[in-house]
Structure 1
């Protein structure tokens, strides 16, 4: 996962590398999916690729957050899975695309919480105390927004619980940083915030 290397290598180079890998995946795997489904009722085949689509949304959303510290719009995901002037051998099709149902987009986004939680905890190990605060605020707003989907899908209910746990861990990390500050060594702080269980924090208290 990308966050494991962010603190050891230049971030811009890692983002460029991740962009290339995603583009390669889009032009190979997802273009083939779009070709196979072109002219078909995609909802007859959705179950065969929905998990992969959610994982793709997770990867795109994490990369987008690293670039912009914001949530990736659905339009960007759709554009990334739209292909123009595709030559399938027998015929050239002007435009084909992979349908991205809103529920699959939302389900993929919920998995972003785990990636951001690990990024927040690892940031502390290198003395970056700003990133956990930013992620804490982002995840709170993100979680609140996804609550609109809570009653519509059993998978969403399950993933929202996981997202809530990730948010709680980041809140705990922020609370620990607020209490301990920079008095402890970076490695000790990282271990400390990783072990805290249920304490919550208020970002308004430490955003100065």
Structure 2
């Protein structure tokens, strides 16, 4: 093979690779658009009137996740199973964002931490890397940390809405979350930096709870369900 033939062969490979990346980008754009729509729905829970309509907001978000499943189903056909991490950077950010949105929906519904398996189910993907497109554990953890920041904001806005019990519950949840992350030996730099921000979320929520406490508003729900 001559040098010219060799480089012609390489150009063919590069062109084919570029076509795959372009196909992936088009699907990811659809995912990003749907993620923005879900975020728009969930952002309304921060409004005073939104606290009364949380179940309906979660239901609407769940409906939009069906579109996410369609996009991910299409995305997984765009590259060979064994090349997931070769193209991972194309969808890493939006997948983390979607993991956050799924985690936030489940928290609003149950006030508990969603599992990685449940997030994968909501998104319509897998947790097993051998199956190709899957929810990487670090992407799941990044989504959970984004949720922690959203909950710190929710704690502040719930006071404005007159819901004084919610910040206490959020505080307990975030402290448990912080304790869980302390068990991990995080070596991924972006994930480690995001985890470092969790202490600020903890501090922000503790300040909210402290302000409620000194005003005599921080009270646990009483035995009949009343606050």
Cα distance in structure 1, aligned partners of 2:80 and 2:120:
15
1:56-105 residue CA offsets vs partner (Å, 9 max, x unmatched)? 1000000010011111111112223446xxxxxxxxxxxx7631111111
Q: Which of 33, 49, 68 matches 1:25? A: 68
Q: 1 CA distance for matches of 2:97 and 2:206? A: 25
Q: Distance in 2 between matches of 1:5 and 1:81?
A: 22
Q: Which residue of 1 aligns with 2:177?
A: 142
Give the count of matched residue pairs.
173
Name whichever of 54-63 and 151-160 sits farther off: 151-160
State whether structure 2 residue 90 is matched by structure 1 residue 45.
no
SS at match of 2:193: helix
The aligned residue for residue 36 of structure 1 is 78
Q: Offset of 1:43 from its aligned partner?
A: 1.4
Higher helix share: 2
How many Å separate the matches in 2 of 1:167 and 1:3?
Answer: 21
Q: Structure 1, unaligned stretches of length 5 or more?
A: 84-95, 183-202
Q: 1:110 aligns with which of 145, 154, 158?
A: 145
Partners of 1:59 and 1:104 in 2: CA distance: 12
Change in Cα spacing, 1:116 to 1:65, as seen in structure 2 (3 Å) is same
Deviation track 1:107-154 (CA, whole Å, cap 9, x = no partner) reads 121111111011111110111111000000000010111123353211
Structure-to-structure mapping, 1:1-208, within 5 angstroms = 1=40, 2-5=42-45, 7-9=48-50, 10-27=53-70, 29-82=71-124, 98-182=133-217, 207=220
Query: Scaled by the length of structure 2, what TM-score is found?
Result: 0.69
TM-score computed with the length of structure 1 as normaliser: 0.75
* Larger-gyration structure (1/2): 2
Residues in 2 aligned to 1:145 and 1:37: alpha-carbon distance in whole angstroms? 35
Within 1, Cα distance between the matches of 2:85 and 2:117? 20
Matched residues in 1 for 2:195 and 2:87: separation?
Answer: 26
Of Structure 1 and Structure 2, the greater strand share is in 1
After superposition, the CA RMSD in angstroms is 2.2
| Partner Cα separation in structure 2 for residue 126 and residue 81 of structure 1 | 31
The CA deviation at 1:26 is 2.2
Q: Which runs of 5+ in 2 are unaligned?
A: 1-39, 126-130, 222-227
